[in-house]
Amino acid sequence: MAEFVSVAIDATLLTLVLALAAFGLAIIFGLVGVINMGHGAMLTLGAYFAWWGVSVLGLPFPLAVLLATLGVALVGLALEHWIIRHFYDRPFDTLLLTWAFFIVSTEVIKLVFGPDFRNIANPMSGAIEFSGLSFPTYRSLVAVISLGVIALTALIIFRTTYGIRIRALVQNREVSSLLGLNVAFTYKAVFCLGSGMAGMAGALIAPMMSIDPYIGNVFLVRSFFVVIVGGIGHLLGGTLLGSFLIGGSETLFALFSDQVVAQTIVFLLAIVVLRFRPQGVLSVK
């Protein structure tokens, strides 16, 4: 029983960390329809910005996370303004362009920071003991932040006037434009928000892993499966459910096999789900 509870805790925490990593992709993919293949590079940039803030500038870790969030948001803003905004009606082109951004960004990171591994010390080591259960302190904090960020973003999108405008734009861009909505600014704001979320995720995940130019690749494929399995456009429930199916299942299968086999089984499971529910688990159509 104790082992089962321990696995359940690990699966829940991994699910919420994965949800945080996937949420920026869910925002951009679900709201403006851009298949952002550069999502992994944005996660990587967030991790390096956080490392630079802590190790070079001497910032406290929370300020380094803020630096990473704003820095990657500005990178996303530049990418959207100079390139992506000209191709919103050509989704396949945006896929190729964001993939090119991923390749270029990875090489730039190698040139600037080098290929060596870098690390950020765990800002909150140890574990929280509660009712005989042990919760890793920092990973638990990231899980709580993940829930808070997703809930706050969902609140903005579904309970504010600006959120109504965004959803109107998603449903019918032409009519929204005729009604006076600034389509270009709204697309720019959404893309910038999703990029900033990716930067925040990379920064918060960095203390859990060694930082290298490919750290974002670990989460890129998983993030796409999370968004698609959960259902495109279902920002809150879809992201959490998709993260549970991908992250939770991987933790479970890793008990009985090595990590590679567990990941292979999970991806096969995701393919089976998409075969019978190509619109996503939560979609009704």
Domain for residue 191, yes or no?
Answer: yes
Stated pTM of the model: 0.88
Give the pLDDT mean for 232-253: 73
Higher pLDDT pick, 277 / 193: 193
Q: How many domains does the chain have?
A: 1
Of 126-140, 141-155, 240-254, 270-284, which has the strongest mean pLDDT? 141-155
Residue 96 lies in a domain: yes
pLDDT at 64: 96
Is residue 256, in this structure, part of any structural domain at all? no
Q: Lowest mean pLDDT of 87-96, 189-198, 234-243, name the range.
A: 234-243
Asked if residue 254 is part of any domain, the answer here is: no
Overall average pLDDT of the 156-184 stretch: 81
Q: Which domain holds residue 44?
A: 2-219
Confidence at residue 174, expressed as pLDDT on a 0 to 100 scale: 81
pLDDT of 167 strictly over 70: yes
Residue 199 above 80 pLDDT? yes
pLDDT at 57: 94
User: Is 224 inside any structural domain?
Assistant: no
Confidence grade of residue 82 (pLDDT, cut at 50, 70, 90): very high
Provide the pLDDT for residue 67.
96
Residue 228 lies in a domain: no
What pLDDT, on the 0 to 100 scale, is given for residue 58?
Answer: 94
Whether 264 is covered by a domain: the verdict is no
- pLDDT of 9: 72
With respect to residue 252, please indicate whether it lies within any of the assigned structural domains. Answer: no
Contacts of 280 (CB under 8 A, 6+ apart): 228, 229, 230, 231, 232, 234, 238, 242
Asked if pLDDT for residue 280 goes beyond 70, the answer is no
What is the spatial distance between Cα 50 and Cα 133, in angstroms, rounded to a whole number?
A: 31
